[in-house]
Structure 1
Amino acid sequence: MVQFSAILPDFKGLIITLEHMRLRLIKRLGSGAYGVVYLAYDNSLPSKPTPYAVKCLLKHPKESDYHHLQQREIAYHKAASAHPCVVKLHGVIEEEHYLYLILDYCPGGDLFSAIIDHGMYVNDDVRVKRSFLQLLDAIHGCHDLGISHRDLKPENILLSGDGSRVYLTDFGLATKAKLSASFGCGSSFYMSPECAGADVSKRPFVTSISDIWALGVILVNMITGRNPWHIASTQDTGYASYLVEGKPYLQRMLHISRGAVDLLSRIFVDNPAERITIHQLRAAVIEIDTFFPTAPNLCPPVKTLLSSSRPVGSVDITDCLRVGTGASDAAEVKIVDIRPISSPDDNDKITVPKNIGTPPKAFTPVGDESLFVNASDSLFTDDSGSDSESSGPVTPQTRAVAIPSPNISSLLLEFPEVPPDIAVRLSERNSAARRAQDASLTMKKRKLPRSWERFVQRIKVRV
């Protein structure tokens, strides 16, 4: 994946101006695939400097796809900035080689840090409900403008200094297309089944309804500090179990209240047409009594769900490499996101094909680990075609096979009693396997390979 942020220069100390603002970039807050974010102060009033966040981007040629995506992100973010729960985009400064997006500064960091690093939502129904309702209002406001976010996750939700307010940000994958065929768009943990596209024969899906699925996964993150599955596909053992068990799977894996289970079961509906709406979801969240189990010791704190061999601060949900927290001076975020260079809905128009295709074959999950971790592109492509010629159907007339039918006597199998020491070892091995599967759904990070780090270093040296 292209990492433009790796070749950007160090902007620390740079002074930029926008109308009455005179911004000085003080320190680097984090970086993503396409840009770097700095903390800046407006010194137009020396007696009261105002903090801002400045997102620095590489300026692309006007005829390129990257330029089109940049302009689309800016336009959608500007349109949504009027909502009180969206990070405000104050303006854009264009230079010969770089773009600077002037944004509100959110000193509370992102929602991921609030969940994992600070345990802000553990057994706190009031805070969970308040923050989630604010997020719902932000998404509702975007949908009213015809904008679907398509990349909802805790890393794209920022907090105020005291954590009482949440703000939606990063419209890099947003679209105004009501229907989309951009499958695999976003982060795997938060993709809806129709967006993943592996089990629906690549049918175009409604983007706003897909956002609701991601909201459900974020709610699970806030309550439990973990994910319900790796990706919503039958090739994922966790999601396949949910399709078979339903509510009992959520109760068993997440240890949440019955009210929360009922609510999530209305969000995690495989058929988008039957999924809960934004209005219904808001009313249900308001009415719920508690998200946490009432019986003691059923809901362990977030930090106890993490592997004891890893520090809490190093744990991430998906596609991120983090050092420190979003609010600390040494904080740095390197988000590895998934952004299509071009897609059928870039111009917000799409033609629905007449022949959508036949339903996929049933899949039987095998093994303990998810087959969709680091999913390959083959899972999002149609392999129904074939280059080889068929010699015709196989029938008893074309390929007759004589099948003997021997007389098999009844077998009586007697299993010897397992020695106590072997039984103990088998039990410990099964328990370890269950713990490993359980830990795989904990909010965690995926580090970039060292080969990529060396490649980035070479680019920096050459630049």
Structure 2
Amino acid sequence: MDKYEKVKKIGEGSFGKAILVKSKEDGRQYVIKEIGISAMPSKERQESRKEVAVLANMSHPNIVQYKESFEEGGCLYIVMDYCEGGDLFKKINSQKGVLFSEEQILDWFVQICLALKHVHDRKILHRDIKSQNIFLTKAGTVQLGDFGIARVLNSTVELARTCIGTPYYLSPEICENKPYNNKSDIWALGCVLYEMCTLKHAFEAGNMKNLVLKIIRGSYPPVSVHYSQELRSLLALLFKRSPRERPSVSSILDKPFLACRIERFLTPQVKHTVVLQTELFALTRL
């Protein structure tokens, strides 16, 4: 930690602490995740190190950039870029009930999908997609962050059973304690899209039991007709109760009203880099 000067603590969760720091080398601000590993069994400790290796390979304009990691005093420290624009959750709350334009929603949504496609193409589940884990840079670029509980799948048929995530974003299959795959990320993506359209959670209840019932039924208040039929139909697809019926992130991006926006966010140079990374990643899996 000698290279960094602590500015303030900006978050705390099951993973540990998030600290805003300033680099003594380049003067830039970064976020450091501090994860206590001394009490972890050695297998879990190894898993944490694997997660860091996954993060180190996640280079994409719409994913929060990893800088470095190190271990010190029984803690694992992960250094990430700092997004000055805050998170999407705060942005939604700051609207004070004034709805976002469809143009703005679709621009943000496409960038989230591009990030998620990069993740899913690598057989990785994010498993904690929520508006608090989607960040905005000073320039307004959307970046997906917090892969703290992401997990590399050994093969496309391996399914994760762990029930993790913020209750509002849990999919029906998780609520029913069934195996799930990347389609649970798609459900959570639907929850984020719904929040951007309504400034509210799709599924809300006074207690966990009622919340789970609402999620399993897939019942949510309709989105305003102020938004296009295409957008509302997409939301209905993301909220299909059966994971098999939900679209993949690639097929979402293939929809003409979204596909036409991709060029704005992926320059030819970035596209070429992303393709190369995908090919290299595929080779390392052979």
Q: Please, what TM-score do these two structures have when normalized by structure 2?
A: 0.77
| Residue pair 2:216, 2:241 contacting (<8 A) in 1 also | no
Partner of 1:23: 4
Contact 1:86/1:167 (8 A) holds in 2: yes
Q: Among 248, 257, 277, which residue is 2:248 paired with? A: 277
Name which of structure 1's ranges 55-64 and 88-97 shifts more when overlaid on structure 2.
55-64
- 2:77, 2:41 → 1: CA distance? 20
SS for the counterpart of 1:180 is coil
Residue 174 (structure 2) aligns with: 195
Asked if 1:228 is matched to 2:202, the reply is yes
Q: State the shift of 1:232 in Å.
A: 11
Q: Deviations over 1:79-113 (max 9, x none)?
A: 22x11111111111211322221110111111100
Shift in Å, 1:39:
1.8
- Cα offsets for 1:152-208 (capped at 9, x unmatched): 11111111124x21111111221223433525321222122222225xxx3x33x21
Aligned structure 1 segments of 4 or more residues deviating by more than 6 angstroms: 231-234
For the 8 Å contact 2:97–2:199, the answer to whether it is kept is no
Tell whether 2:45 aligns with 1:67: yes
Per the alignment, do residues 96 and 234 of structure 1 end up closer, same or farther by CA in structure 2, a change over 3 Å counting?
closer
Gap change, CA 1:214 and 1:60, over 3 Å in 2: same
Query: 1:5-404, aligned counterparts within 5 Å?
Result: 15-16=1-2, 22-45=3-26, 49-60=27-38, 63-80=41-58, 82-118=59-95, 122-162=99-139, 164-177=140-153, 178=156, 179-197=158-176, 202=178, 204-205=179-180, 207-230=181-204, 236-237=213-214, 240=217, 242=219, 250-251=221-222, 254-256=223-225, 257=227, 258-284=229-255, 286-287=257-258
Identity of aligned residues (%): 28
Distance across 1 between alignment mates of 2:96 and 2:211: 32
Residue 76 (structure 1) shift: 2.1
| Structure 1 residues 234 and 106: alpha-carbon distance in aligned structure 2, compared to 1, 3 A threshold | closer
1:191–1:232 contact (8 Å) kept in structure 2: no
TM-score by length of structure 1 reads: 0.49
State how far apart, in whole Å, the 2-side matches of 1:188 and 1:85 are. 25
- 180 and 232 in structure 1: CA distance in 2 versus 1, 3 angstrom threshold: farther
Count of residues in Structure 1 that have an aligned counterpart in Structure 2: 252
Please tell me the residue identity of whatever aligns with 2:194: V
Q: Going by fraction, where is helix more abundant, 1 or 2?
A: 2
